Structure 1
Amino acid sequence: MRYGYIGLGNLGANCAGCLLRAGFDLTVNDASRNAAEGLIGQGARWADSAADLAAGVDHVITCLPSPAVSEQVLRAILPEMRPGATWIEMSTLGRDDVLRLAGLAATAGVRMLELPVTGGVHLAARGEITMLTGGDAELVELHRPAMAAMGSRIFHMGPLGSAAVIKVITNMLAFIHLKACAEALMLARRGGLDLGQAWQAIAASSGNSFVHETEGALILNGSCDIGFSIDLALKDLGFALEFGREFGVPLDLAALTQQTYVAAKAAYGGAAQSPMIARLLEDLLGTDLRAPGFPARLE
């Protein structure tokens, strides 16, 4: 099958690269051709527009920054997609957005499969990211080889909209864990502990988390370069709080964490990396969270 991939940011470029390395026929498009140069060098074809891409492939994958952009791209590709084709949406959307856009795709005879992912850009680069899919079971099986090329674990969560809910839950937990990680590291620092040793001790304790092992290390390096912005974190926390209201679940920690990200955006800008929320504590207390031997980026 010939796939098209639209949206070559930190995540999309890595997932598209995994498809190429697995031997898939791939055409790519992005708002900036520069984002595609590495993939073109590996054998991907370039399409000058999303519509041109859709006209030359069997199925289209998108990985985009917002529901508004997803809808804009969908409206551009639908007139060119063949009836029976699949639109595979890897962007993080709200459940209502998923269902609404699936209905729009259906008017052109195109079926939607939602496929948000979790685990971080470094795992996407290795083809080991976790894939959360929602949609018809036969579509999941049809595209399982492509999903297996991009990720090491695939969870079919149920009908369309199901993956949107679990993706928002996992991201909500990650942001809460990151806030807790920053506070824990600052306690260790102000308590006079060696931060490198403290990080190792936490990693070997019942208080450990995936976020501590990954983003915590980047905080100690000072780079905070996780490939995920404060604006994206705020978008996902907004989805989580909407679900809380819809399902009648009080989300106290998510609400507090959202306010921390609002403060970080005011201080450093929405394009800053999401672990920069730790810098708020550093600035407030005049105390840095640095330790030697920690990476600037995750591999």
Structure 2
Amino acid sequence: MGGGMSMNLVKAGFPVTVWNRTASKMEPLIEAGAKAAGSPKEVAAASDIIVSIVTDSSDVEAVILGSEGAIHGTKPGDIVIDMSTISPAVTKSINEKLGAKGVKMLDAPVSGGAIGARDGTLSIMVGGDDETFKECLPVFEAMGKTITHVGGNGMGQTVKLVNQILVGTAMLGVAEALMFAKKSGVDLEKCHAAVSGGAAGGWQLTNNGARLLKGDMEPGFKIKDYLKDLRLIMEAAADVKMPLVETSVVQQMYKSLEAEGLTQKGTQAIIKAVEKLAGETLV
């Protein structure tokens, strides 16, 4: 994700300094004109706007607040944009620590996967103050197409969790519906074409539904990463005392795939859990 997003910033003409825990991943960016840094602290010292995208809450804390974290290279007036998907509560805590140094923060998680990152078509949901959002809008426009300021700090992360609830429940619905069609003797290709253009149509059906018909389980978004998001969803839901009945089922279905060692597959591989329940394979 970060590689594609950084490349689009380089292509847009921004002076970009990069750091990655795996140094070899920086090489295409350096060849394209970016400068390499030895730590997040060095990136921050060379930048006015610092963008991070890593896996989980603890990773963001390490990259921003750790001993070589970005906070130690910032100066008052700098802006940190975290585009990871993490806990809203952790985001607010990081914002407070940055604010104590006079550094502003936006939480701006993304949807669209590696393909969207490469093509600059990500959906970006941004939390933070309006003035800072407007200042950073050209940066967002280099990486995404649908850019929405959704509220104050932490709200970007909350809206991303909303997105992930919808993604998982829709994907389970697609898998169940196609398996129902298969067991009922319907031509799957014709069924998929018929329902994709109607009220049931949507991204998961059009894209991952088509992958299922080809038996393609390779990841656009890995199960291991979605399980992390499901954990964040359940933690945030507990904080606001919100029962999530359907999402709980989705979580258990993906946990069954984790038990089978399928976490490197794409989220469409939920069909494997549905196939077990149905006693039949889709294709």
| TM-score (ref. length: structure 1) | 0.88
Q: Which residue of 2 aligns with 1:18?
A: 8
Where in structure 2 are the equivalents of 1:195-214 lying within 5 Å? 195-214=188-207
Counterpart-to-counterpart distance in 2, 1:14 and 1:282: 35
Percent of aligned pairs with the same residue? 29
Name 2:217's counterpart in structure 1: 224
For 1:256 and 1:183, locate their aligned partners in 2 and report how far apart those are by CA, in whole Å.
13
Question: Who is 1:122 aligned against?
Answer: 115
AA aligned opposite 1:267: E
- Tell me by how many angstroms 1:269 deviates: 4.1
Equivalent residue number for residue 275 of structure 1: 268
Q: In structure 2, how many angstroms separate the alpha carbons of the residues matched to 1:215 and 1:226?
A: 10
What do residues 204-248 of structure 1 show as CA deviations (whole Å, max 9, x unaligned)? Answer: 122112111122222223232333222221221222223333333
- Corresponding residue of 1:35: 25
- 2:141 pairs with 1:151: no
CA distance in 2 between counterparts of 1:190 and 1:34 reads: 48
Between stretches 225-234 and 176-185, larger displacement belongs to 225-234
Q: 2:242 aligns with which of 237, 244, 249?
A: 249
Q: How does 1:169-208 map to 2 (within 5 A)?
A: 169-208=162-201
Task: Tell me the alpha carbon deviations over residues 51-93 of structure 1, each in whole angstroms, 9 at most, x when there is no partner.
Answer: 2222222221000100001000112111111221111000112
TM-aligned CA distance change 1:156 to 1:196, over 3 Å: same
What's the offset of the Cα at 1:13? 1.6
Q: Tell me, what secondary structure is at the counterpart of 2:217? A: coil
One-letter code aligned to 2:92: L
Tell me how far apart the structure 2 counterparts of residues 79 and 240 of structure 1 sit (CA, whole Å): 31
CA-based RMSD: 1.7
Tell whether 2:64 aligns with 1:74. Answer: yes
Find the aligned partners of 2:282 and 2:36 in 1 and give their Cα distance: 43
Moved more, 194-203 or 266-275: 266-275
Q: Which runs of 5+ in 1 are unaligned?
A: 1-10, 291-299
- Asked if 1:61 corresponds to 2:51, the answer is yes
**C-alpha distance 278-218 of structure 1, shift in aligned 2 (>3 A):** same
Shift of residue 28, structure 1, vs aligned partner: 1.3
1:50 matched to 2:43 = no
Alignment partner, residue 90 of structure 1: 83
- Residue 159 of structure 1: how far off its partner (Å): 0.7
Aligned residues: 280
**Structure 2 unmatched runs, 5+:** none
Report if aligned partners of 1:265, 1:272 keep a CA contact under 8 Å in 2. no
The 3-state SS of whatever aligns with 1:156 is strand
